[in-house]
Amino acid sequence: MRWRHAAGRFLLVLAVVLTGCVTSGAQADEGASGGRGPLTLATAGDLTGYLGAVLEGWNRTHPDERVTLVELPDSADETHAQMTTDLRAGERSRFDVLNIDVAWTSQFAAAGWIRPLPRERFPLDSFLPPVVDTATYDGHLYAVPYVTNAGLLLYRKDILEKEGVAPPRTWSELEQAAKTIAPKYGLDGYAGQFLPYEGLTVNAAEAVYSAGGTILGDEGERVTVNSAAAREGIGYLARGLREGWIPEEALNYKEEESRQAFQDGRLLFLRNWPYAYVSASAPGSEVAGKTGAVPLPGPEGPGTSVLGGSNLAVNTHARHPESAMRLIGYLTGERVQREVLTRGALPPVRAALYDDPTLVREFPYLPTLRASVLAAAPRPKSPRYDQVSLAVQAVVHDALTGHETPESAVRRLARELAALSHR
């Protein structure tokens, strides 16, 4: 399976290289064709494998503007590295449309890698409000929201029901159940994504935000992480690992490894994005029919999720910018947005879909998800977001592995972030 995937990727890369050769001539007559022609779309790993079919729909009806999918690795950081390497090649870059993590818009815009887009071309009013902000930098629209995301707590409904315990709303309820109930069933208690990569930044930020803290303030200009709330949030996760109700394996988990652990029936609780809930509930999963999902807990009641998702941006050096914008219009249109949910198991950005009775029947978690997205907190907007995130990951990892106390970790993180903002 993995091998087939690798072979597929090789063919795609080959296709991109060939497309590049064939179309370099077309670039010359961009004016004549009104900026229209073939495209490449680069994206992080398509975990639910739906995007190829969606793009085929476009290719069938747009034979002169065919799009070739370039699927990069599953991990947000590896995708970031490959995209930025490509974008730094300037006119030689090969990605025309980029499906970028919401966290990267500021960095890509500030670096001049992606173009400002005309707002009137896109139905921004029909999107959930917080997602439009993630596509905006310095007052301009630099990308168009495509998929949104909010963390949920997945839990073993069968086990909590048997124990007569309600799904946790607070950290102490979660901790208690993870400590006392999970071992009775031979399960580990709780996991999130704790490998040092973007997912750890997300999990750490959620812990800090849920306790009422922040990492950076004033659009990334002020360091605010040295607070009692941040110590409490990081301390909570560190305690879980020290006491064993978060298993040590979770220090190596990204989204997929953690989903697999839950789906194999090894965990009582898991923090993950909604796609993991869909996958765990699908026929063939060990925990199908035994899984529930609720908002993330916090110290005294529901916590705060980080706003996830991705935006579609156009490379400054895109070969055919008009086609790039037309493709983005297609991907953010009503029909494809519905498929994003029904085939991709990803949260769409169009608000009306969350009220659609047929969809709500098929995806009963939609109202919970909408509430979580509307209440989710964005990651700091910073032209140096990648370095901010690397600092968070490195320091928090040291706290989670017990190499540093939460108190000293939070102080060190504040110093590292301050050094970054003065550079």
Q: Work out the burial of residue 4: count CB atoms within 10 Å of its CB; fewer than 13 is exposed, 13-18 middle, 19 or more buried.
A: exposed
d(CA 299, CA 185): 26
Using CB under 6 A as the binding rule, whether residue 114 contacts ligand GLC is answered as no
Tokens of 31: 């004016």
By CB under 6 A, what part of segment 181-210 binds ligand GLC?
Answer: 198-199, 202
Nearest-approach distance from CB 309 to ligand GLC, in angstroms: 5
Number of residues that bind ligand GLC (CB under 6 A): 12
Closest residue by Cα to residue 397 from 202, 238, 220, 165: 238
DSSP conformational letter for 273: -
Tokens of 257: 């490894």
Using CB under 6 A as the binding rule, whether residue 174 contacts ligand GLC is answered as no
Binding mask 136-165 for ligand GLC (x = CB under 6 A): -------------x----------------
d(CA 276, CA 281): 8
CB atoms under 10 Å from CB of 106, counted, come to 23
Strands 97-101 and 267-272: unpaired
Beta strands in 359-422 (DSSP E): none
Nearest-approach distance from CB 20 to ligand GLC, in angstroms: 28
Beta strands in 183-286 (DSSP E): 188-191, 216-217, 222-223, 267-272
Using CB under 6 A as the binding rule, whether residue 234 contacts ligand GLC is answered as no
Nearest-approach distance from CB 32 to ligand GLC, in angstroms: 39
Q: Which residue is nearest to ligand GLC (CB)?
A: 308
Binding mask 254-283 for ligand GLC (x = CB under 6 A): -x-----------------x----------
Nearest-approach distance from CB 202 to ligand GLC, in angstroms: 5
Nearest-approach distance from CB 148 to ligand GLC, in angstroms: 8
d(CA 312, CA 143): 5
By CB under 6 A, what part of segment 70-109 binds ligand GLC?
Answer: 76, 101-103
Closer Cβ to ligand GLC, 202 or 238, answer by number:
202
| Residues contributing to the site for ligand GLC (CB under 6 A) | 76, 101-103, 149, 198-199, 202, 255, 273, 308-309
